[in-house]
Amino acid sequence: MLFWSKLNVFCFVGLLSFGGIGLIILPRNSVSVIEKRVLCRFPTFSAENLYSGSYADSLDLYVADNFIIREFFVNYAFNLKDNLGYKISKVVYYNKQTASTKKKDTTDTASPIKEDTVIGKSEVNSGIVIYKNRAFQLFTGVKSAEQKYATMINKYYEKFGNQAKVYNVLIPMVDEFYLPEEYKAFNPSELKSINSIHSKLNDSVIKVDVYSAINSHTSEYLFFNTDHHWTGRAAFYAYEAFCKSANISTLSLEVLERKVIPNFLGSLYWLTRDKDLRSNIDSVEYFKSPVKYEAFAYTDSVKGKAMKAKVYNEMARGNNAYGVFLGSDYGFFKVKTVNNSGRKAVIIKNSYGNPFSTYLLTDFDEINVVDYRYYKGDLEELIIKSGITHIIFVVPIMTANTKWHTKKMASLL
């Protein structure tokens, strides 16, 4: 008995020592691939942090995020939760609580992550349904939010309508076209919400019919299986509908250079870790314009530090493959082309607008892409001084039904 007790103590102390030494000497990743987040850094020491207790708390977080072979254990834990969702015949339902991401640490032990690194603020308004190895966000419409969104668009027209045309490009979601009615019976129609918003807009605001453009191509690859975004192909059909509304003749899809990035697992997989989604992995399709251009990215506004950029970030791979469109969600992204059309655009968007923005290369002299979540510049000054001719709002219908997003777009004025 004494032998076994000593052996247990030896093994226990040995494991602790191995883990502690490994924590100190072994190289560590700064990002968890499985959790898709930045891991906690070693905390900054100060007497104030020590006496307040925050240093010890931050040290606990650091150890929890950086112990050896952590990714293996995290992956194993997710595999144990394959039955986490509520299974009803052919579907699995994840509510917001069971599909939530880990809260971001706001102390100096963790780097800030943009809201759309996994999924945008309030872009999942309801639950997630897995049907036939595909993820669907359930849409929930809010009448008061529709009115606020329409009022915001109308204010842009009132302010800039004498200088520029204002376009509303509302994007319907995957569930509207591919999820059987029996599984969305209690969710409102996205088409009805789009039409409701359009009915509240000033008659001079141009309402782009994205719904019909998508609906006429539903046999094609328009939405990802594992991600909450639409594809580059779907964005092109929406751009075609925009060009029709704007009286612009654009190139056909066949003329553009088609490229594909394989092995893309998107945000809805990382939220649910559903094994059926992993078996239906995506690819990211993009179409390159032949037009020559010069592009610059800014963290928050045109007055910030400019970085040379590319409209197509062809280094994007794997889980970050959607980043091929513009490279990231920059606060401000500016493109100048060799065109001589007399057209200059401002696109007000979230991450859904990234693939849409790439197609304007073909038909505009200047493209100013504003991500309302991060932009801190003077938008009115930008529109007036740049001689903008087209103001284009490109957001999904979920965004238009979320007051937080509308408030951010309105605040640019």
pLDDT single digits (tens) 180-232: 988 876 678 999 999 999 999 999 999 999 999 999 999 999 999 999 999 99
pLDDT of residue 121: 39
pLDDT at 329 over 70: yes
The Cα 184–Cα 177 span in angstroms is 11
Confidence of residue 11 (pLDDT cuts 50, 70, 90): low
pLDDT digits (tens, 9 = 90+) for 111-143: 223 333 333 333 434 688 899 999 998 888 888
H or E segment and range at residue 336: strand 332-337
The CB-side HSE value for 329 (13 A sphere, CA atoms) comes to 21
Beta bridge partners of 288: 257
In this structure, what are the phi and psi dihedrals at residue 209, rounded to the nearest 5 degrees?
-85, 75
Asked if pLDDT for residue 51 goes beyond 60, the answer is no
- What whole-number distance in Å separates Cα of residue 95 and Cα of residue 117? 20
Residue 404's nearest CA partner among 189, 205, 142 is 142
Predicted local distance difference test score (pLDDT) of residue 339: 97
Q: Is the model's pTM score more than 0.85?
A: no
Side-chain half-sphere exposure of 284, counting CA atoms within 13 A: 24
Is residue 299 exposed (0-12), middle (13-18) or buried (19+ Cβ within 10 Å)?
middle
The pLDDT tens digits for 62-109 are 555 555 555 555 554 555 555 555 555 567 777 755 444 333 333 222
pLDDT tens-digit map of 173-184 = 999 999 998 887
User: Residue 122 — left, alpha, or beta (φ > 0 → left; ψ -120 to 50 → alpha)?
Assistant: left
pLDDT-derived band at 148 (thresholds 50, 70, 90) equals: very high
**Residue 344 contacts residue 300 (beta carbons within 8 Å):** no
Using the structure block, give the residue that is written with the tokens 């091929």: 324
Mean pLDDT of 327-338: 96
How far from each other are the two terminal CA atoms of the chain, in whole angstroms?
77
Q: Which amino acid is at 19?
A: G
H or E segment and range at residue 410: helix 403-411
- 252/231 Cα distance (integer angstroms): 17
**pLDDT single digits (tens) 353-403:** 999 999 999 999 999 999 999 999 899 999 999 999 999 999 999 999 999
Return the pLDDT at 114: 39
227-264 pLDDT per residue, tens: 999 999 999 999 999 999 999 999 999 999 999 999 99
User: Residue 342: is its pLDDT beyond 90?
Assistant: yes
Max CA-CA distance within the chain? 91
**Would you call 208 helix, strand, or coil by DSSP?**
strand
